[in-house]
Every structure is written in C-alpha cells, then in structure tokens.
Structure 1
Amino acid sequence: MNFDDLLSHYKAKACVVSVEFFPDGTYGNIRVVAGNKAHCDDMAALNHPFEPGCPYEACFPKNPNFEEHCFRCIRDGKPLHAYVNLYMMGLWLNMFLLPLDSDKENIGYCIYCYDVAPKADSSAMADLSADTAADVLKACIKLRGSGNIKHAFQDVVEDIRKICGSDHCCILLTDDEKCTCSIFAESLREGSGLYPMARYIQGFYAILETWPDTLAGSTCIILKDDRDMENLRERNPVWHASLRYAGVKTVVLFPLRHGGKLLGYMWSLNFNVEDVMKIKETLELTTFFIASEIASYKLLNKLEVMSTIDSLTGIKNRNVMNNWVNQIVEGQVPMPDAVLFADLNGLKRVNDERGHAAGDKMLRKAASILQSVFHDGEVFRAGGDEFMIIVSKIAEDEVRRRVDQVHYLSKITEDVRFSVGVCYGESDIRTAMRLADERMYADKKSYYEAFPGLKYR
C-alpha cells in the first residue's frame, strides 16, 4: 500500500502507525511509518524532522495509553476517537485512529489523525458514543441537580463503579500542604473481598505522592492484566506491593485536575477489562466535570469558612454568633445553660507600646485559652477584644471552675488578662447576653480598681 499517496488526501495532521504483534496476543514495536505534509511540518516546528519508520516516541511523547489505543484499533479493526487533556503540556489532544489492511502477518497499521489546542473544545467533547454520552450526561445532571453535593458524588461514584463493572470506586482528595489525603466518595461492591479505603487511608499519602511519576504525563493509568502489573512492579514497586496486598488485580486511575491544579484522584479497582476502552472514554470526560465540581465545592467551602471564621484568631466570628442567637430566639437551637462574655484587659496598651503584631498575638493566645477551657461550647469573637461563649449541659459550679481556669491560664502568660461576666440558667438569650455583658464590665471595673495604672490602657 502506498501510504504517502493515501495520506496526501488528509488536510489535518495525519500519519500511519505500525504495531508489531506477538503470537501471545501482546504487542512490540510501534512505529510511525509515514506522515503527510501537515505532520512533517509539525515535527519540523518542534525541531524533530520526521523520519519514516522511526519509533513513535520520536514524534510523540511515550504514552502507554496511546500504545493501547493503536493496538486495540488494529486488533479489533474498529475506529477509535479520544479527546484528552495533555496537562503536562497545557494542551488538549483530539485524536482519531482508523484501522488499515496489512499484507504482513505480524504487523498491523492504522491512520492516526490528530490536532492539539490550548483550550478544551466542547464540540469535541460531545463527539462520543451514545452510551458514553448518556453516562456522562447522567453524572452531570446528578452533580448539578442535587442540593447535597456529597450525596450527589456518592451516587455518581456508585454509577461509575457499575459502569466499570468494578469492585471498588473511590475519589481521593489531596492536601499537599499537610501531606494528607481524604476519602471524598466511595462505592464498594458487596462481596467483593476488598476492604473500604478507610482501612488504608492512614499514611496512604506516601503512596499517592508517587502517582505523578508513574503517570509520567499520561492522562490516566490503566493496569488491565499481569503484564501491566509487572510493568508497574518495575516502575513503582511500593504501590504494586500495596495493590497485591489488598487483592487488587486491575486498576484504572485518573488524576482530577482543574485550572492546572491537582485536586485528587479517582480510581476503579478490579474492573471489566473487556470494556476498557469504553471505560477510559467515559472516565476521561466524566473526571473533567467531576474535577470542576470538586473545585467549586472546595471554593464554596473556603468562602464559607472565610465568612464564618475570624481570620485572626481562627474561632467563629460575629456573623456566626448572630446566627446562633437568632436560631436560639426562633427555637431552632436549644437555649444554652451558660452565656459568658470575656474581654481582654490591656490590649490598647500592648498595641500602643509594642505594636499591633504583639496585640494580634495577644488576641490569638486569648482565643486559644478560651477554646481549650470551653472545648465543649461555642466560642465567638464578638468584636475587637471581646469574646462570647455559650455552653450547654453544664452545671453552675463547673462554669465557675472553668472561669477560674481561664484566669489561671491567662496569668501564666505574659500579657493575657480577662474580665469575665457570666449568666447562668436564664431562659431568654438576649437577657442572658445583656446580664453577662454587664457583669463583664463590672469585673473589668474591679480589675482597673486593683490596677489603677492600667486604667483605660
């Protein structure tokens, strides 16, 4: 067959790829035997002049998934399409594989037509098989249509496990600053013989952080047979050993990336290897949307934290305090037994004499003391140097003991001193707040009478 004549009719970048087949059903060398003008020009632009018959990695990054696509296209005699994120290069690859006849017993051929772009193309994403499109659409509807995002992800992971025909499917989120990972959603087939991920999560980050090197720029890792597992053993013996220990025979793993940032991973274990290409096609796109939804979820959580947590002290802010009070007034939250106000003495003096950095440190120490003593209550920064504490299911003498403990802990610090007011057993939250506030100011007056040199400072 005259490959050059055939490729001359292709305007897009195209080449002919050959795959060497072995009697045991595996494959060997993969080469690019011919290329059209667009392909040759592309190679020249990359300073890699094309040489017919060269190993494919002389033209394209070495990638086990690309090899698998070429192998299956030729072996099965069926065209294949994939649209993948080449995240290491910041590009999206749209690729088509068409099988060709061969006059050689152990060599097969296919046309590889491809294009790359810096941004995702929605029309390319939509060019999927009907089954895959339906599965992806179903996942998107669940993620966007649920009021409870965690429940929605649980449903989606369960669906993906069934699509893959696998024993276990899981989404793991990573925290590279803390060097930890967490289980975001998980589905385990009953009777699979595998254990939930919680059994292994402690210290699992040490294995997870080896995955980027194992991916080596690929969009996913697919381990479908003993040959793949043996290759993994050579490349990543620690992960290989953990999989064997857990009873895992096959793995498909996708990184979850959004905006260039790695959020975590999704994997499916002991999947149906007969559907490996459909599984890859489905997860390739589903993980794109999953990563986007996880990024939105994490952003919303961050915004919620920013709106509820005092950024200086790390305790709940006045907005949350007001919400608590409103919920108590409306009967949505039970009336606490004790309401306390605590005010720092001498913060202005510290700010004036030692600077605001010292004053901020003083506030953080004060919040830490209150949180440690009232660990079973709610501690709020009401504003400035004032804190409010509410505690339920506590005896009055225990409240007094804890106030004494607050004073003891503050005395062993360099500068933290509290004035505290307590109201116990009041049935109206606003009355309790008013009384606690009045008693706190009375305590402050006593403090300045004892230390007149610090008054108003």
Structure 2
Amino acid sequence: MSTDKEIDKRITGVWIDEAMDLLQVPSCILDAGGLEDSREAICRHVNPAFCRFMEKEKEELIERPFYQLGIMDKDSSWLNALSRAISDNQVIWGRLYAEKPGKWLRFVLAPVGENRMCSFSFLDISGEEKTRRRLRRDNATDKAIIRAIRRLISEPSFSRAIDRILQDLSRAIHPDRLYILETDRKTISNTYEWCAPGVKSEMASLQNLPYDDYMQSWEKYLENDTVVVIPDIEELRRHGDIDGYEILKRQNIHSLMSAPLYYQGELIGYLGADNYEENERMDTKYLLETVGAFIAMHVVNQRLMKRLEFASGNDSLTGVKNRNAMDIYFYEHADEPNHGILFMDVNNLKYINDVKGHAAGDKMLQELASFLCRHFPKEQIYRSGGDEFMVIIPHTDRNEVKHKMEELRRAMKSEPFSFSIGHAVSDGRGLRFAAAQADRRMYQDKREYYRHHKRYR
C-alpha cells in the first residue's frame, strides 16, 4: 500500500497540476496540513489563468499564505468558507467581493484528498455586476433582464437558477415552451426546459441529435439577424425547408424565436421560445438575446467546473475513479463492514513500457480498465496507482467476493494482459485494514505468478 507521502504526491502531483493548468478559470491548490487555523492555508500551486488574474509570476504566489496574495484580508468572511471546505471535507460554491482587486468572483472550493487540501477556482463576474447596475431602468424588459441576471449571480445552484429564469421569462412573454439547447456543432441537446400547463415536454426527444440535420437551417437566419426569428413556420415551407417545417410542426410550434449563445465568438447553444407572445410592453428579441448572453457565460463556467470536478475524482488515462476518489471513499466508509475489496496489479508493465514503449503500456492499462468495467459498475473501480487497480463492492460477503475474483481470473485468460489479484472483506477493523489484507494477498499471488513466468522487474 502507498504511504501518506506518496498519496500526497499523487493528489498534488503532475497530473492534477497539469489538469488545473488547462483550465481557463483562475485556480489554485491550498494546503492547511499541519496548521491549526485553516484560514492560514498555504498556496501550493497556481495555474496560468490565476497568474494572469493576479498579474504576478507563479513564484511570487506559491508557498505563501493565501491571505497574503492580495485577494482579500485575513479577516475576510470568505476565509471561513475555506475553513469549512477543508475541515468538513465538503464542496462549497458561492460568490464574493474580493476587496483588494475590487472584483466580484463566483467560486468553488473542492477538497482534494484527506490531507486538509482543497482546490479554489473562480470566475471574474465583475462585468456582470456592472451590467446589472446599468440596467436598472424602469421598463418591463429591463426589469426582466435584471431579474435573470440576479438569478444567475445569487443562486448557488446553476440548474435552479436556469429553471427560475425560464419561469420568469414565461411570465414576461407567455410562450408554450422555453428551453436551452447546447451544442458542440456535431450534436445538439435540450438541457433545460419550461412548459406551459398542458404542453408536452420535448426534452427527452431532443438529445444528442445531429446538429446539421436539425439546426443548420437556423444559421441562415443569423446571416442577416442576431436572433433566429420565425414568426410563422409556414415561411419554412414556402422557402423549401420541408424538413425544418415538419420538425416544428410535429412539436405543435407555429412561431419561434431563438437567441444564439456565444462564448468567445463560438456558438455553444440557443435560448429559445416556442409560440411566444408579442406585446408592446416587452421587447422579446432584446430580452432573449441579452439574457442568453449572460447564460452563455455561465454555461461555459459550469462546463469548466464539471471538468475540474471530474478531474479531481477520475483517472484521465482510463476513465475510472482515481486515488483521490478512493481515499475519499475510504474516509466516508472507514469503519463500515461488508465492503469487498479486489486489489489488482498488472504483471510485467515495466517490461511492456521498456520494450514496446509507454504508449503500449498505456493501452494495456486502458484495456484492463475496460475489462473491469465489463464486470463491475464503473463507479466501483479505482486506479489506485500506476499499475494498480482496486474494486470496492459494498454490501457483500466473502463468498461473493471470492467468486468475483475467480470469475476475473477465468476471464483474464482470454485477454492480452495479466494481473495478480488479492481479495478481502471489511469487518470491525475497518476498510483500510481490509485493503491491506487484499494488498498482501495480491503480492502472494504475484509471487506465485513469477514462479511460473519469467520475471522482468
């Protein structure tokens, strides 16, 4: 089994640093290990976006107490959130006003392992705050826009904010359906929806559809306008877009307006309204276009946050859970009995790397992960080390775990790889004790393997 120092290295090692460096949002790793007051947490790593935000070099920012970096004072109330994230091992979302830069930030604090460390990522939303203040004008359209912006800024849950914004918009323009479509220009999916009473939901049927088949015709409208406006779908038929006409007709749509969502000039989706109501009190086009612009920024931010969350708990090479996720599971279920553990170590991986190259070794690890996913739910599989994998089976017994181990051994015979394996089931001595048992039995199995096979390492 790995030592605490080795665990620390994996948690704050090259892979998490490199993953964080790819993020476009400013991010850093904070370490309160060994400190009585987590508000004095040390900044261990910063990504390039963080350096740009601070207008400082990396060396000026790391290995210093976070409160000294020039974002906020030591007595800032935000540091209490940092203390909770580290002490209570929980993800905390929120927004804050950074006193020293004078900027509004939306942030997420996420624990990293069990060693009183966490990641801090944020997005500068000062522009939204300034826009919100400028839009305080006494007319219905501006009030609806401001209400939507407030939802996005103040609501901790993005999904709840979008649901409430769609409800607010429905009261302003009285459509049959409001929705958000998200796209990568290959497929398009309906991710959020509001329907008037008696109107059928279309969200389930609008998932992963070919973009060109369903949306390409919309882009023609954007050549001459900033919003897709189809006041009467009969004009589609008159212009020969029979497929587009039939798609909308099937959904009982007779008019449609959809504002494109852009991020850095790239189309990422649409905010749309079906069978909307035009009236003198509301500029529907301006409303959807402006609210859509703010939603677009938050959609991208949400995607980046999900990538960070995924990276913190998943192995980038194999796609299964990583050591960090395993350590969190051990912490949350430390004393629980009846957790089966299968511990595996790939045989001769070093030989494969040395002779065939690391690409071949990586492929073998990916094949093993896929092999395990055919036998267990993906959320039960962890890559615990370079060539080590662990499967944790809750609510089981020794007979079932042993049966699963023998099943894997039989199935392995037809695979291009082999591994040594050990098993155990947790009892009153805890999950880590069971993991150590499985580890010892795995090494016994490995010694037996090398009695009959040439040893390359």
Larger radius of gyration between Structure 1 and Structure 2: 1
The question of whether the paired residues in 2 share the 8 Å contact of 1:168 and 1:270 is answered with yes
Give, in angstroms, the shift of residue 335 of structure 1.
Answer: 5.0
Counterpart residue number, 1:53? none
Aligned mate of 2:173, from 164, 169, 172: 164
The question of whether the paired residues in 1 share the 8 Å contact of 2:135 and 2:146 is answered with no
Give, in angstroms, the shift of residue 379 of structure 1.
Answer: 0.7
Q: Secondary structure at the match of 2:434?
A: helix
Aligned mate of 1:411, from 404, 410, 413: 413
- Calculate percent identity across the aligned residue pairs: 30
The separation in 1 between residues aligned to 2:207 and 2:404, in whole angstroms, is 37
The separation in 2 between residues aligned to 1:204 and 1:168, in whole angstroms, is 22
Does 2:139 match 1:137? no
Give, in angstroms, the shift of residue 360 of structure 1.
Answer: 0.7
Counterpart residue number, 2:230? 223
Give, in angstroms, the shift of residue 128 of structure 1.
Answer: 6.0
The separation in 2 between residues aligned to 1:240 and 1:233, in whole angstroms, is 10
Give, in angstroms, the shift of residue 391 of structure 1.
Answer: 0.8
The question of whether the paired residues in 2 share the 8 Å contact of 1:338 and 1:390 is answered with yes
Does 2:269 match 1:269? no
Counterpart residue number, 1:439? 441
The question of whether the paired residues in 1 share the 8 Å contact of 2:256 and 2:274 is answered with yes
Do the aligned partners of residues 217 and 312 (structure 1) sit closer, same or farther apart at CA in structure 2, a change above 3 Å counting? farther
Do the aligned partners of residues 123 and 152 (structure 1) sit closer, same or farther apart at CA in structure 2, a change above 3 Å counting? closer
The separation in 2 between residues aligned to 1:336 and 1:367, in whole angstroms, is 24
Counterpart residue number, 1:191? 198
Q: Secondary structure at the match of 2:377?
A: coil
Give, in angstroms, the shift of residue 383 of structure 1.
Answer: 1.1
Does 2:304 match 1:299? yes
Give, in angstroms, the shift of residue 274 of structure 1.
Answer: 2.6
The separation in 1 between residues aligned to 2:363 and 2:450, in whole angstroms, is 22
Q: Secondary structure at the match of 1:147?
A: coil
Does 2:162 match 1:153? yes
Give, in angstroms, the shift of residue 278 of structure 1.
Answer: 1.1
The separation in 1 between residues aligned to 2:329 and 2:436, in whole angstroms, is 16
What code does the residue aligned with 2:390 have? M
Q: Secondary structure at the match of 1:412?
A: coil
The question of whether the paired residues in 1 share the 8 Å contact of 2:401 and 2:424 is answered with no
What code does the residue aligned with 2:194 have? S
Give, in angstroms, the shift of residue 395 of structure 1.
Answer: 4.6
Do the aligned partners of residues 326 and 209 (structure 1) sit closer, same or farther apart at CA in structure 2, a change above 3 Å counting? farther
Counterpart residue number, 2:79? none
Counterpart residue number, 1:212? 219
Q: Secondary structure at the match of 2:260?
A: strand
The question of whether the paired residues in 2 share the 8 Å contact of 1:221 and 1:254 is answered with yes
The separation in 1 between residues aligned to 2:154 and 2:432, in whole angstroms, is 40
Q: Secondary structure at the match of 1:384?
A: coil
Give, in angstroms, the shift of residue 350 of structure 1.
Answer: 0.6
Do the aligned partners of residues 130 and 180 (structure 1) sit closer, same or farther apart at CA in structure 2, a change above 3 Å counting? same
The separation in 2 between residues aligned to 1:407 and 1:355, in whole angstroms, is 26
Structure 1 runs of 4+ aligned residues shifted over 3 Å read 119-129, 199-205, 393-398
The separation in 2 between residues aligned to 1:323 and 1:207, in whole angstroms, is 43
The separation in 2 between residues aligned to 1:125 and 1:209, in whole angstroms, is 35
The separation in 1 between residues aligned to 2:415 and 2:358, in whole angstroms, is 18
Give, in angstroms, the shift of residue 247 of structure 1.
Answer: 1.1
Does 2:263 match 1:258? yes
Q: Which runs of 5+ in 2 are unaligned?
A: 1-126
What code does the residue aligned with 1:145 have? S
Give, in angstroms, the shift of residue 235 of structure 1.
Answer: 5.5
Do the aligned partners of residues 336 and 441 (structure 1) sit closer, same or farther apart at CA in structure 2, a change above 3 Å counting? same
Give the number of aligned pairs: 328
Aligned mate of 1:352, from 351, 354, 360: 354
Q: Secondary structure at the match of 2:226?
A: coil
RMSD value over aligned CA atoms?
2.7
The separation in 2 between residues aligned to 1:221 and 1:431, in whole angstroms, is 62
